[in-house]
Amino acid sequence: MHRLMQFARFALVGLVATAIQYGILASSVEIFGLRADTGSGIGFALSAIVNYLLNHRFTFRSSRAHSSALWRFMAVAGVGLLLNVGLMTLLAERWQLQYLLAQALVTAVTLFWNFIGGAVFSFADPARAEPISEGLSE
């Protein structure tokens, strides 16, 4: 049950970060004429700041010091950024899928990557390592 509650909090934080990312994406494309993958990458990077702060405090209630959690978060977010931009390039630029639909699909993929990375690596309590599967089977 613990992981399910964490995932629910993670999804709530994700809504805030996703709204920021989509706002930046849409304004980058519609106002500034940037490519969708570029706007999405900028939005992902900027929303990561909010994502980190809220996930550290609210989602995972981490006791890990920022000096340890932040670099771990950046590693997970860096892979997430590569997934985000790579998939946006494929879906929106190469396959010409409408960019907001493409972003919705990409968000679904990165959601799970970021949650698992946060739970088992970025914010995990170093004194009480807990397997990711705990609580998911309940």
Give 65-82 pLDDT, tens digit per residue.
Answer: 999 999 999 999 999 999
Q: What is the pLDDT of residue 70?
A: 96
Q: What are the sequence ranges of the domains in the chain? A: 2-122
pLDDT in tens, 36-59: 999 999 999 999 999 999 999 999
pLDDT in tens, 87-113: 999 999 999 999 999 999 999 999 999
* Residue-by-residue DSSP string for the chain: -HHHHHHHHHHHHHHHHHHHHHHHHHHHHHTT---HHHHHHHHHHHHHHHHHHHIIIIIS---S-HHHHHHHHHHHHHHHHHHHHHHHIIIIIIS---HHHHHHHHHHHHHHHHHHHIIIIIS--TTS---TTTTT--
What percent of the chain clears pLDDT 90, i.e. is strictly above it? 88
Res 128 pLDDT > 90: no
- pTM for the model stands at 0.83
Res 132 pLDDT > 60: no
Confidence of residue 131 (pLDDT cuts 50, 70, 90): low
